[in-house]
Structure formats: structure tokens, C-alpha cells
Amino acid sequence: MPKQSPIKFGTDGWRGIIAEDFTFDNVRLCAQGVADYVRGTEVAGKGLVIGYDNRFASEGFAAAAAEVLCANGVRVFLCPKAAPTPVVSYGVVARKAGGAIVITASHNKPIWNGFKYKTADGASAPSAVASGIEQAISRVSGVRRMTLPDATQKGLLEEYDIAPLYLTHLKDIVDIERLRQAKLKIAIDPMYGAGSGYLRDILQGGRLDITEIHGERNPIFPGMKQPEPVPANLIALSDTVKFNALKAGLATDGDADRFGAVTEDGTVLSTLQAFALLCYYFLEVRGERGMLVRTLTQTRMIDRLGELYGCPVKETKVGFKYVAPIMLSEDVILAGEESGGYGFRGHVPERDGVLASLYFLDLMVRTGKTPSELVSALYKKVGPHYFDRRDLEFPEERRAEITEKAWKPGAQQMRERQVVRTDTLDGFRYILKDGSWLLVRFSGTEPLLRIYAESGSPDGVHSLLDWGQEMVGL
């Protein structure tokens, strides 16, 4: 029996460095904890889907988890190839399974991998479930294993290719034929991830001209720090769009639950602009009404759109595990977080970068506008908003010191701008009189301190970020 690791579920599952923390023994330990947690419940009776991404040895880690679950009498539906996390989530609902395990580290650096758990509705595990699994893992005294051939023979293991079901579902909620017949030239970048081929396959066959880059599997993600659709990692996509005079670039992250977009001049839209444009699409173009949900690091443009179109807006902590319950209980049109993950009505309560890409493309086709023209149209509605984020590495031993420095509840001014409210809903937030805001919080998925700011001008954003970085002394 291996020595137990301090396995902790963060914002979305457990992640660790491959071969250091994320080992086959620890993955089996996690799987045994899950098996113990679901034993005797409806979840165990319905079985679990297991999916994985394109990272190093992900298929092997997925097989290891399947060996353990099957040995514990839990039926497993194992994906035969890499699949986006939202595809696995949809597969849970389509199969009426009890939940899912996804082997993925999403947007993290190449040396990381992860273990996500999804509930029966396809959503990220809420805090109570994540805590229950953590406790079950800590109590594991022995790990059961069964070979996959034996599991198959006993009827405990079944291959489950979700892609055809998922693509059919997308065709039911998006007018794919309209997109295929659009006279547009676009580029798509799945960032070597699990989303490779999905947009290409569903959109090809018409007049739409598609160039896919980074569609092959490469777990070191060459040319990018990590498979996250932010400017530093989308240089190749930006260059492809600019040099080939394309109308837009669309990107999905490592497990395709996040979405990014590049304008016709190669500028990468911020995740706040992208989400606001998707809200504008549903409210203005599609004429839909309902609730909008945003995490506290998402743009206040959503609040303004809610006012203009008569829609309520709800704020949550960072993490889709806080968003999903609202999507399940309220009439939510769409929900989004600053990381680039957006969820939609009529779909699973989970982020989906592939569907977000299709909706963004449909916005362009229906309005006849380029991405930069759409941003201009949005700003005419809500005024200009600018955003940036700094990710700072720090020594773990300084966490308490940084925490103390980051929280100044009595602050009245920030770079000569009046502070009207402070709170600790998730991190340390400062809201200014002019509507600008600054947030300092520790990442729930990586060993980083994040500093976020939104303001009415780029200079205002940079000034706030400088203030926050100076405040914590990093």
C-alpha cells in the first residue's frame, strides 16, 4: 500500500505534478476513495463514466482508475480516446450514469495532471461532495484492483464513445448548417488538447473556410507556457489570423472547457469581453431572457447588460462548483467565470469551450460583424471596460504574510481613487467609486497568487494591478 499523499480537491478536483504527486498509486488511491464514497448509493448502481485528455499518460491513469472502480463493483463506461471535459459531462447525462471521473489538468502546465469528479447532472462536484471524497480517500486502508479484460468479461467495463451523441446534441441547439454556409475564413486552435478535431469536424463541408492549428497530440504544448487561451499562449493563432487575412480565431484549452477568441487584426479578446459578447448575443441577437450568473472575477459589463435587458444577475465565488447549483435551480441563460469557462441553458451545467466557440461564430454570422466590430457595438451599450490579471509565484512559507498584507479593510483610497467597499467573499476585494475593482486571491488550482483588476481605461487597470502587487510585496 503506497504512502498516502495529502490529496486535496481545489476549485475543480485534485491536481498534482506528474510522477511527483500525480502517480499511478495516488490515482488508484483517489479511485478507491471514490468507490468507498459511492458504495451502496444510487451512483454506484448507475456506474461512472471515465474520460481523459491528451496529457502525458492520461489514458493510463484513466485505465488505473477503471481497474479500481470495477474491482469495487462499480460499473465503468470508459472513453476509448481523449475527450473534452464537457463531452464527458454530457455523456453522464446522456447515459444516465451516476457521475464521472475525468483525468485532466485542464489549462495547467505540461508537468501537471489532475483528477476531476462530476456528479450525475454532469456538473463539477460541489464542496460537500468534494469534501466527502477527500475524507473517503484519507480513510483508505487498501486498494482493490481488477484487470480490464476481467472487468469487461464480468460486465463491469464498457467502452463508451460519447463524441457522436455530443455532436448530435450540438446540432440540436445550434444551427450548424448556417455556420457551415457562412462565407468566412477562420482559424481554430485546440491547443494540442482534447478538443482537437471537434470544431473542424462539425463545421466542415460547406463554404466556411477553416484552418486548424495545433490539432495533433503533443503533451508538452510547444510554443505555449500552458494550454490556456490567453494572449501569451495564442501567438500562433494570432499570427495565423493576421497573416492570412482571416476574420477570427477561436481557441479551446487543454480539456476544451474554456474558450478564447482572436479578432481579425490578431488581438486576443479578454475573457471578460468574450463573456460579455456571449451575453449580448443571447440577449440582443437571440432575444432570450433569464438570469445571468458570473463569478466575482467576471466583468461588471454583465450587470449593466442585466439592467438594460431586464435580467437578474447573480454573483458567486470563483469555480463552477458554485455556479452549477444555480444553473440547476434557476432559469439561467448563461454563466461565466474569468478563466474563460462559460455554461449555457439547454446544455449540461458545465463549461463548454466547443459550444462557446459555435455560439460566438453564430454571433458573427447573424450580425455580419467582425469581433472588433462586435466589441465596439458592446461598448456602445455598456461603456468601455478593460481588464488584466497578474499571476505571481510565491514561496509557500510566505502565504500567511501575504494574506495579512493583502487585506486592508479600512482602505479608503487606492492610487488617489476612492474605495467604497471591501469584502472577503473570495479573496480580498476592493471596489472603487468609479466602478473599478481589484481582487487579490490565491489560486484554487495552482500555487499562484492572482491579482485581478477591471477599470474604464487600460491605464486604470495597470495602476490598480501595480497597487495590488506593491501591497503584497511580490
Is the pLDDT reported for residue 2 higher than 50?
A: no
Give the pLDDT confidence score for residue 1 in this predicted structure: 40
Q: pLDDT band at residue 316, thresholds of 50, 70 and 90?
A: very high
CATH numeric code, 14-161: 3.40.120.10
What residues have CB less than 8 Å from 307, skipping those under 6 apart? Answer: none
**Residue in the structure block whose three cell numbers are 499518460:** 57
pLDDT, mean over the chain: 95
Percentage, residues of the chain above pLDDT 70: 99
Rounded Cα gap, residues 26 and 359, in angstroms: 39
Give per-residue pLDDT as tens, 32-90.
999 999 999 999 999 999 999 999 999 999 999 999 999 999 999 999 999 999 999 99
Question: Which CATH fold would you assign to the domain 386-472?
Answer: TATA-Binding Protein (3.30.310)
pLDDT digits (tens, 9 = 90+) for 265-301: 999 999 999 999 999 999 999 999 999 999 999 999 9
Of the pLDDT bands very low, low, confident and very high (cuts 50, 70, 90), residue 416 is confident
Residues of the chain with CATH 3.40.120.10: 14-161, 174-382
pLDDT at 5: 52
Candidates 250, 226, 271, 235; CA nearest to 387 is: 271
pLDDT at 6 over 80: no
pLDDT tens-digit profile of 78-108?
999 999 999 999 999 999 999 999 999 999 9
CATH code of 174-382, in short, is 3.40.120.10
All CATH 3.30.310.50 domain ranges in the chain, comma separated: 386-472
H-helix segments, 2-126: 24-38, 42-46, 58-71, 85-95
Alpha carbon distance 458, 226 (integer Å): 25
Please give the average per-residue pLDDT across 5-16, as a whole number: 82
Q: What is the pLDDT of residues 222-277, one digit of tens each?
A: 999 999 999 999 999 999 999 999 999 999 999 999 999 999 999 999 999 999 99
Q: What are phi and psi of 156, to 5 degrees?
A: -95, -15
What is the average pLDDT across 326-349? 96
